Chains A and B, each alone.
Chain A
Amino acid sequence: MLDEFPGTLISTEWHSPGYTPGDSDFEECYYYDNFGGCYGARGNLFNVGGIPHTEWNGEYDLTGGWANGNWEPAYDYFIGFYNQLIGSETPYDIVINGFKDGLTVNYDITVSMDDDHSSQNQKVEIIVVEDKIMSYWTGASEYHNARNVARYWISTEDLDISSAGESQTFSGSFEIDEEAWNPDSVKIISMVQNYGNYHVHQVQELNVNEFDTDQDGIMNNEDNCLSEYNPEQEDIDGDGMGDACDPCDNANIFVPGNVSGDLWYYDDTSLEPTVLVDVFDVLLLAEIVELADEESCGYEAGDMTGEGDVNIIDVIALASFIMEGAF
């Protein structure tokens, strides 16, 4: 069903350690900073007794197993719950965004409202899950592709907003456990849930590899400017750094030799400037080499030998080119 309704049906699997076979890639879930405890904490909300047990937006539930793990008879129940709940109006919308740096994930979860609703007992849950864990299920005697298994229940926050137009952002970070989790399959799931009746009012999920920090429609792992809105991804010098965040135009200004980036207009009628390479570029390049200033725009422009490294040889080469009238 998750594949049947992508984006609108979101799940978290809370697995019982006692039910989990030893040869599966399951670990206990961190409940806040404590190893283990997720299953009990979440299950106690709904008084979960027998398993398997499903809770649909905290409003409908179904408990009971199916012989030999044949879950298909449950579909008719599940589709009924789904259709009862999907698409009804809710005052809440949730946007998950952030930035992933190696195995460190920094997230921002923004809950906004387009209608009034009391904030009494309203909570925001933040849960990290790992999707698609193949595991051997002893009850069914077969392998099962476990979906969105809870790995880290980060927190339960108070939602303070109650009026249309308001929003509240919850920020934090966590580390991906590379040994236990597949970093490609880590998602953040967040929901607005009422702790009076446990009804879920809205939910959202996002794979941590699909952050779009600047919200320009280009995911971070493909964006040539992570924090600048540049949906067109212009990159005039083709160096992989978009124009919106690239201080160095290596195509037209910081061309080889023009270390200082100086431009020269022949006269007032000339619309197109040309680069100016002179002794000042030699002096500046010498300074760049001395300071090992690899961040300056002149660094790449000063690589006269084209070896990818800028050193004193490039300074000599630039001086020679100028003396020979190469510019």
Chain B
Amino acid sequence: MNKIYYLLLITLPFAQQLDPVDVALDELRTVVETASRSNQRVFVDDFTGLL
């Protein structure tokens, strides 16, 4: 039983650790998604004026 506790104590901290490569990919994905998002154009309703 003690062996199982030891194993859990050793394993849990590492299980929460993200691979640095994954972090970098997430950052890259965020940058790419932001860059590819649509840009707003501007629409003017002109009510019988001069534009």
- Give the B-binding residues of A (Cβ under 8 A): 1-2, 5, 7-16, 19-20, 39, 42-43, 46, 48, 51-58, 65-66, 69, 71, 78, 81-82, 85-93, 114-115, 137, 140, 144, 147, 189, 191, 200-204
Q: Which of B3-11, B13-21, B23-31, B36-44 lies at the interface with chain A?
A: B36-44
Contact of A89 among B39, B41, B44, B50 (CB under 8 A): B39
Contacting pair B46 A54 (CB below 8 A):
yes
Contacting pair B40 A55 (CB below 8 A):
no
Contacting pair B37 A55 (CB below 8 A):
no
Contact of B51 among A1, A39, A91, A203 (CB under 8 A): A1
Contacting pair A14 B39 (CB below 8 A):
no
Contacting pair A91 B38 (CB below 8 A):
yes
B36 neighbours in A (Cβ, 8 Å):
114
B38 neighbours in A (Cβ, 8 Å):
89-93, 114, 202
B47 neighbours in A (Cβ, 8 Å):
13-16, 39, 42-43, 48, 51-55
Distance A92 CA – B36 CA, assembled complex (angstroms): 12
B-side interface residues, number (CB < 8 Å): 18
User: Closest residue of chain B to A26, judged by CB?
Assistant: B48
User: Closest residue of chain B to A66, judged by CB?
Assistant: B50
Distance A81 CA – B38 CA, assembled complex (angstroms): 19
Task: Supply 6 further A-B pairs (C-beta < 8 A) apart from A11-B43, A12-B46, A66-B50.
Answer: A1-B51, A8-B42, A13-B49, A19-B48, A52-B49, A204-B41
**Known contacts A89-B38, A90-B38, A144-B50: does B43 contact A10 (CB below 8 Å)?**
yes
Contacting pair A54 B51 (CB below 8 A):
yes
Contacting pair A52 B45 (CB below 8 A):
no
Distance A147 CA – B46 CA, assembled complex (angstroms): 9
Contact of B40 among A12, A88, A144 (CB under 8 A): A88
Distance A29 CA – B13 CA, assembled complex (angstroms): 69
Contacting pair A55 B45 (CB below 8 A):
yes
A82 neighbours in B (Cβ, 8 Å):
42
A203 neighbours in B (Cβ, 8 Å):
41-43
Contact of A11 among B34, B40, B51 (CB under 8 A): B51
User: Closest residue of chain B to A2, judged by CB?
Assistant: B51
A8 neighbours in B (Cβ, 8 Å):
41-42
Minimum distance in angstroms from A6 CB to a CB of chain B: 11
Contacting pair A71 B50 (CB below 8 A):
yes
Contacting pair A69 B50 (CB below 8 A):
yes
A92 neighbours in B (Cβ, 8 Å):
38
Contacting pair B40 A90 (CB below 8 A):
yes
A58 neighbours in B (Cβ, 8 Å):
43, 45
Minimum distance in angstroms from A309 CB to a CB of chain B: 53
Contacting pair B44 A56 (CB below 8 A):
yes
Contacting pair A14 B46 (CB below 8 A):
yes
User: Closest residue of chain A to B39, judged by CB?
Assistant: A87
Distance A203 CA – B51 CA, assembled complex (angstroms): 18
Contacting pair B45 A86 (CB below 8 A):
no
Contact of B46 among A11, A91, A93, A137 (CB under 8 A): A11
Distance A202 CA – B41 CA, assembled complex (angstroms): 6
Contacting pair B50 A87 (CB below 8 A):
no
User: Closest residue of chain B to A204, judged by CB?
Assistant: B41
B44 neighbours in A (Cβ, 8 Å):
9-12, 54-56
Distance A17 CA – B48 CA, assembled complex (angstroms): 9
**Known contacts A89-B37, A114-B36, A114-B37: does B49 contact A54 (CB below 8 Å)?**
yes
